[in-house]
Structure 1
């Protein structure tokens, strides 16, 4: 009656529907810009969460000029709902040219402290020196305290493309197009003085730095370590892990994909925990997983706690490719987050039953018996058919509250000119049956 292809499709959809009500992570809120937003606001470009506060940027916001950018701060109230606390825009005083600054390209959030990268900020349009803005919350109000620039930044360095607080007194900033070594890239460290003002303490390059490495494109930290992505290294990409010794960054190791190919973008995203590190290779086109399907490489600290060893490569296949004939361009590993034993991986290019580039997120947890990282959940946008929403472009995770945040930069009200973007919040619940309205998520699998 049915061909084998259609029987496969029916079985796949049935399994997806069953899976949709067994999620460990359930959606609790979807954030849209209060005024509806404008096409190409790109709300959700960068996200971070700290307890009951989250930050989400919209680099296309026009309050300060075309593509000047803005960051929205939300706080969680009753019934797991989030409300807007404040909208932040840059204030440079006499410098009033914010056009194309990209304020909000990166964010790093602590409970009452926020760093916002603005990598295209300059004295004139096109300078692209970059800057980082520091905001502090006092009595429920966020106030801009400082504008940070690198002591050696010059034209087109893109200082602030990535930012990460190690703690309340230490900040790391990526400058991936640092021109001193022909776009090799570098990172800067800043320490807070007794007045809370951040002062530059060092500028660090990779030990094998060379042109077009883009070292500093991505950053993450975990107490005593920092990981830095260099997705252009030799055309394939690499990542560096640094130990923090007496306040200084000391290179521990450089990792690269064993069978990497040009254009894989290994190092596009990075994440690190106490004993593990993950590196996203979003354009990995391994013949076994499809053109641009993406992958994530996991490394673990050895028994001596001094060196890092390759442990596992995470890939995904898309069974729907057999039905639709579309390539499996999932971009797995475009975004990463790690906290509390969970590894979150964004795949914003994932295609579904009736859409392309809808996106999805994979949540991994290490199995106690095998020691391997295995899928704990598959998270989707749980709403309308997400055609080209790019759900999972950015992710943030805080396991102290069991909160997962993701940006869907093409989500929201769609017009001929584009979409403003959305931010979706998920919370971890006990494994089991979730409310039945979540069953509609099957379309997104």
Structure 2
């Protein structure tokens, strides 16, 4: 049996050999790796804790994405899931801001157009965990301001604490052009509702109130870097909630004269606020100011300046973060740098200067920074959104870990999210069209999978579309097997667990009005634990053959294959095939091939 099957497979190979030779002669299919494309701005925004890191890439494929990494131990942050809005479109800048909490990931999309061009929005993703799929985040809500309008840039900045969210809209015009506003949302147990809108008591045109925001319990801190105070530029406003309403408590300004843009960046932790004041004036140096709340007053505790005598660095204070007794301040001047400060005996002292080992001029190392809480170790994420390691300006994120000092322990770039997709695990060709599986792609979570349609046009293979299942999930391995027949595609997801753990599934897609759409999800009528239905698939016209090589009806791992037919517009299971001589462990159905009314099924461990 085995030798005959092997001979038949060779004949099939010969039948398509000419197409394969064409691909070998410089016609390699372009991989669908848009996240690592030029100008993806990978690392534009960051948020990290001890277990996960969220990285925004607002220009990825022109729409934006957020990439979530999991700490596998000892700071080894590896790709876990890619977040994409259900309705994202070109120019949304999904991922411009990102906030990671214990239960949620908050993602800003200031270019969203729901309430006018660039009105903006924020997406709420809630973490879900189960033993089958592990950690996952599902879109729970999309937030917009009740009075949102064009050019608000709602979502340019956002922050979350518990069941409360604040969102900056620095372009909002209700007071004056670009005066700005901040919106407060709370979860009532059913949905997120806007409960307040904050504006500055002295708001005026071009304040950019809401450029940066930070929420901690009942306190909101808002940056307004465009505020004109006369001799200085920029301000920070503190609002406190008294149980009934939000009240402006204080306005903080820099004591230094000049265009310092105080409030370009900020962070709060405990009873302290750190505020960045990167300057627009190349002859002036930026700064970062730490304020402490003491006996009802906000007092200037420290002014942090670039290290070195007479140092002029206008970009110092570009990004800041604060956790406990650790503060970080970045500068994107030249190749970029990050300064780490520690609170020692009541004074903030420079602890260490960080730089990326392979940083180049204009990489913008330090564009965004984020510190984790400190338990056994503390991690600092700092981004280089213009890093060229993969491709021009594709970006990267550098990870530092602290024991006695901070050391670079890794680098994350967008290519890591695609290089292990196993693109090419399965292939199928029909006429001038090709289908390629990538079962380890992460669009719906780790190893959720994808498949890609190509067409041969004007002497070149062109990527037409990327196929994803409507209910894709972590570890489905959609795309491990593929089969293409004319305008119809069959794609296996052998570890899909909708019915039983790893019982498997297969999906049918069809070309309708120029678009490839999912028309059916096929499952065995008798799903079994770890049957791996969909490990192999074959399509011939309106008939499909699907292997389940670990099906146990005829014995453990004996295997089976299922026949489906399109009847009156519906795909129906018409027969389950089990070899008459099948024994335990044969893996019957490990490979399948279908040609009209003839089926060929492999059983690689059959010993008859």
Tell me the TM-score normalised to structure 1 length.
0.71
Q: Tell me how far 1:262 sits from its aligned partner.
A: 5.2
Contact map agreement 1:235 1:261 (CA 8 A) in 2: no
What's 2:81 paired with? 29
Residue-by-residue CA offset, 1:342-381 (whole Å, 9 max, x unaligned): 211111111114x0111111221222xxx32112332222
Deviation, 1:32, is 1.4
Q: Superposition pairs for residues 81-230 of structure 1, below 5 Å?
A: 81-92=136-147, 98-123=149-174, 127-165=177-215, 167-181=216-230, 184-195=233-244, 197-208=245-256, 210-230=257-277
Secondary structure of the structure 1 residue equivalent to 2:364: coil
CA distance in 1, matches of 2:208, 2:95: 20
For 1:288, the equivalent position in structure 2 comes to none
Contact 1:225 1:244 in 2 (8 A): yes
| Aligned-residue offset at 1:236 | 2.7
Please give the per-residue CA displacement for 1:38-67, whole angstroms capped at 9, x wherever unaligned: 222111011101111111011100000000
Alignment of 1:46-445 (within 5 A): 46-78=97-129, 79-92=134-147, 98-123=149-174, 127-165=177-215, 167-181=216-230, 184-195=233-244, 197-208=245-256, 210-232=257-279, 235-259=284-308, 264-283=314-333, 285=334, 293-302=335-344, 304=345, 306-318=346-358, 327-340=360-373, 341-353=378-390, 355-367=391-403, 371-381=404-414, 382-384=416-418
Aligned length: 336
Task: Give ranges in structure 2 of 5+ residues lacking alignment.
Answer: 1-71, 420-608
Deviation at 1:261, TM superposition (A): 5.8
Larger Rg: 2
Aligned counterparts of 1:191 and 1:22: Cα–Cα separation in 2: 38
The offset of 1:275, in angstroms, is 1.6
Distance 1:139 1:24 in 2: 36
Distance 1:112 1:172 in 2: 17
Bigger strand fraction: 2
Structure 1, unpaired ranges of 5+: 1-19, 286-292, 320-326, 386-445
For residues 363 and 317 of structure 1, the distance between their equivalents in structure 2, rounded to whole angstroms, comes to 11
Q: What's the CA shift for 1:193?
A: 1.5
Cα shift readout 1:183-225 (whole Å, capped 9, x = no counterpart): 6111111110222x211011111232x2311001100111121
Asked if the contact 1:57/1:71 (under 8 Å) is kept, the reply is yes
Larger RCO (alpha carbons 8 Å, 6+ apart): 1
State how far apart, in whole Å, the 1-side matches of 2:135 and 2:296 are: 38
Q: Counterpart in 2 of 1:399? A: none
Contact 1:47 1:107 in 2 (8 A): yes
Is 2:153–2:169's contact at 8 Å kept on the other side of the alignment?
A: yes
CA 1:175–1:22 in 2, change beyond 3 Å: closer, same or farther?
Answer: closer
